[in-house]
Amino acid sequence: MRHTRLIAALDTQSVEQALSWARMLDGQVDAIKLGLEFTYACGLDAVRQVAHDRALFLDLKLHDIPNTVAKGLSSLAPLGASMLTIHASGGRAMIEAARAALEQTTLAAAHRPLLLAVTVLTSLDEPGLRETGVNATPREQVLHLGRLAMASGADGLVCSAEEIAPLRDALGDAPVLVVPGIRPAGSSADDQKRIMTPAQATRAGANWIVVGRPITRAGDPAAAAAAIQDELRSA
């Protein structure tokens, strides 16, 4: 059976806070995620400092013309992240250019970061997606973008847990599925719309789940992470 691993999203504008969370979560989570909030506030040197020898998901969701995304990724590749994100809606040429840039920039193939394509943000429900001009359900649009991204060179997809089963039906085991919008039972949804519990996500077949505020806002983040790992193991 697939073992679902846990990524903690360390969303903060403070290096000290990120370092403190990273240290308290060592041994409790399988990777840390640093994203837009941290990177814009603290810079790439701070990303290096917090990542140290931890597995890093650097989530900067690049979305631009192919040349700009390719050059942006070649600037990020030397940071040594295990995973990087782009938006699948940037299109085939952008995704192909992103993949080519990572192949060319990273020295050893074994160290190439996984290229993950974000499909439909977990903060969008059907009406929210329709407002962007997409006349499809989130599930249909995730499948559509997921097929495009995988055919264009992505290693995996970021999606909600609701779309894991249809993606597995359509694309099999090949895509690495990274799933945010995870809420342990009873915790606040915050701005997330398409949510599931850790147990539901692992049963559906997530490779990784991403959990931020339910861990970082807990009185004891290490205990919150440990409880999520227990839920994953016993699901």
Ligand X SMILES: O=C(O)c1cc(=O)[nH]c(=O)n1[C@@H]1O[C@H](COP(=O)(O)O)[C@@H](O)[C@H]1O
Residue for token pair 């193991």: 233
Q: Is 61 a catalytic residue?
A: yes
Residue 32 sits in the site that holds ligand X (CB under 6 A): no
Residue 25 sits in the site that holds ligand X (CB under 6 A): no
User: Do 120 and 148 meet the contact criterion of CB atoms below 8 Å apart?
Assistant: no
User: Do 98 and 72 meet the contact criterion of CB atoms below 8 Å apart?
Assistant: no
Identify which of 117, 105, 104 has the alpha carbon closest to the alpha carbon of residue 149: 117
Which of residues 152 and 192 has its CB atom nearest to ligand X in the complex? Answer: 192
Which of residues 104 and 132 has its CB atom nearest to ligand X in the complex? Answer: 132
Residue 149 sits in the site that holds ligand X (CB under 6 A): no
Separation of alpha carbons 45 and 39, rounded Å: 9
Stretch of 23-31, 38-46, 115-123, 218-226 lying at the interface with ligand X (CB under 6 A): 115-123
Report whether 172 belongs to an annotated binding site.
Answer: no
Q: In angstroms, give the least distance from the CB of 49 to ligand X.
A: 19
Which of residues 26 and 191 has its CB atom nearest to ligand X in the complex? Answer: 191
The contacts of residue 40 (CB under 8 Å, 6+ apart) are none
Q: Is 155 a catalytic residue?
A: no
Kindly give the interhelix angle for 138-151 and 92-105, rounded to the nearest 10 degrees.
50
Catalytic residues: 59, 61, 64
Q: Which residues are annotated as a binding site for substrate?
A: 11, 33, 59-68, 122, 183, 192, 212-213
